[in-house]
Amino acid sequence: MFNPYKILLVGCGKMGSAMLRGWLAKGISPTNICVIEPHSEDVSLLRSDLSVSVLSSPEELHADYEPNIVVFAVKPQGMKDILDPYCGDLTSTAVVLSIAAGRNIAFFEKIFGVGAAVVRTMPNTPAAIGRGVTAACANNNVNPVQRAACQDLLEAIGDVVWVDDEALIDPVTAVSGSGPAYVFLMIECLAHAGVVQGLPLKIAKELALATVAGAGELARVSDETAETLRVNVTSPGGTTAAALEVLMAEDGLGVLMDQAVEAATRRSRELSG
Ligand SMILES: NC(=O)c1ccc[n+]([C@@H]2O[C@H](COP(=O)([O-])OP(=O)(O)OC[C@H]3O[C@@H](n4cnc5c(N)ncnc54)[C@H](OP(=O)(O)O)[C@@H]3O)[C@@H](O)[C@H]2O)c1
């Protein structure tokens, strides 16, 4: 691991703030972190009394500043222009960690050179509460110390899974990157179905949200698999069995989920570059 960390965080919006909050909570000294954010006055975390140095552009960095990790947490659109000023000394010895959706390792190697150490990641929105899951893929230039540092920094926003084959980032995007939206839809659909059966909307929403959150947490902390937990709550001939007969039919949720994840994987491939 780097000792000390010298982290340059480029972009401090939703994801960048979540990471910064996690790093500080982990005990990383704010004096080891520099943030580049053009509109820092709009970022509530940066308005609080932190000793993180906040600059509005890389031109304001000291000429001899040498980060050991540069985290790009900016939108993928227009990213080449944002990255260009970081070519050269700033990134020649640092590991570049990107959380940008759809920007592949080759994209960064083209900008920073084929010798650049690059880690491409795909986090998801529960990162905002430290409960995300991030898939990471490193190129061959990333050394074990740099990889351990990336793991450490990403753990501040949740679990971390490494994949060796970058092509897997597309299905990762379809499962965990976009996945929170599927779960939010599940909450909406469950509440709507309750209303159709006569429940007041407010109660249906409360029941659906607490059920999805509680079941998710139970699945997370339990030693049993999701399948076993499902079987355990399904009495033969009971109410859950009646519902699962519909959900698990040949044209049920399994098929729909396959189609949805396939569509998202395809779209992720189309957008990559
Ligand atoms: N949110 C998610 O759930 C999620 C999930 C997976 C991956 N990601 C990836 O995470 C990245 C960040 O997403 P986000 O949701 O955090 O976006 P965001 O909230 O818009 O944050 C991006 C930040 O970068 C700032 N910025 C713009 N130009 C900059 C520059 N030249 N230098 C430094 N900072 C600059 C923006 O400032 P202004 O707003 O003032 O322009 C903004 O504060 C994206 O690439 C996205 O693909 C996000």
Q: Which of 169, 201, 226 is the last residue of a domain?
A: 169
120 and 249 inside one domain: no
- Please tell me the number of Cα atoms within 13 Å of 97 on its side-chain side: 26
Quick one: 113 and 40 in the same domain? yes
Atom 5 of ligand 1: nearest residue by CA position: 124
Non-local CB neighbours of 252 within 8 Å, separated by 6+ positions? 246
Quote the domain boundaries for residue 211: 177-271
CA of 10 to the centre of ligand 1 (A): 9
**CA atoms of 80 and 19, how far apart (whole Å):** 22
Residues 163 and 188 in one domain: no
Domain count, the chain: 2
Residue 192's pLDDT is what? 98
**Within-domain flag for 190:** yes
CATH of residue 239's domain is: 1.10.3730.10
Same domain (yes/no): 267, 205: yes
| Boundary-marking domain end, from 102, 134, 169 | 169
Q: What is the pLDDT along the chain (273 residues), one digit of tens a residue?
A: 787 889 999 999 989 999 999 999 888 999 999 999 998 887 777 777 678 889 999 999 998 899 999 999 999 988 999 999 999 887 788 999 999 998 999 999 999 999 999 999 999 999 989 999 999 999 999 999 999 999 999 999 999 999 999 999 999 999 999 999 999 999 999 999 999 999 999 999 999 999 999 999 999 999 999 999 999 999 999 999 999 999 999 999 999 999 999 999 999 999 886
Q: What is the pLDDT of residue 49?
A: 66
Structural domain contains residue 1:
no
**Nearest-atom index, ligand 1, CA of 101:** 47
Pocket test for ligand 1, best of 9, 10, 14, 59 (most atoms within 8 A of CB): 14
| Cα 99 to middle of ligand 1, angstroms | 9
Q: Are residues 70 and 31 in the same domain?
A: yes
Nearest CA residue ID for atom 46, ligand 1: 100
Q: What are phi and psi of 160, to 5 degrees?
A: -130, 135
- Residue 2 covered by a domain: no
Query: Strand order in 158-162's β-sheet?
Result: 53-55, 33-36, 7-10, 69-72, 95-98, 117-122, 132-138, 158-162
Atom of ligand 1 nearest to the CA of 121: 7
92 & 203 share domain: no
Residues 135 and 233 in one domain: no
Residues 39 and 70 in one domain: yes
- pTM across the whole model: 0.92
Q: Which amino acid type is present at position 173? A: T
Looking at the domain assignment, is residue 17 inside a domain? Answer: yes
Residue 76 CA, closest ligand 1 atom number: 45
Output the domain CATH number for residue 149.
3.40.50.720
| 182 and 143 assigned to the same domain | no
Which residues line the pocket of ligand 1, CB cutoff 6 A?
10-16, 36-39, 73-76, 82, 99-101, 122-125, 177
Domain boundary among 126, 153, 169: 169
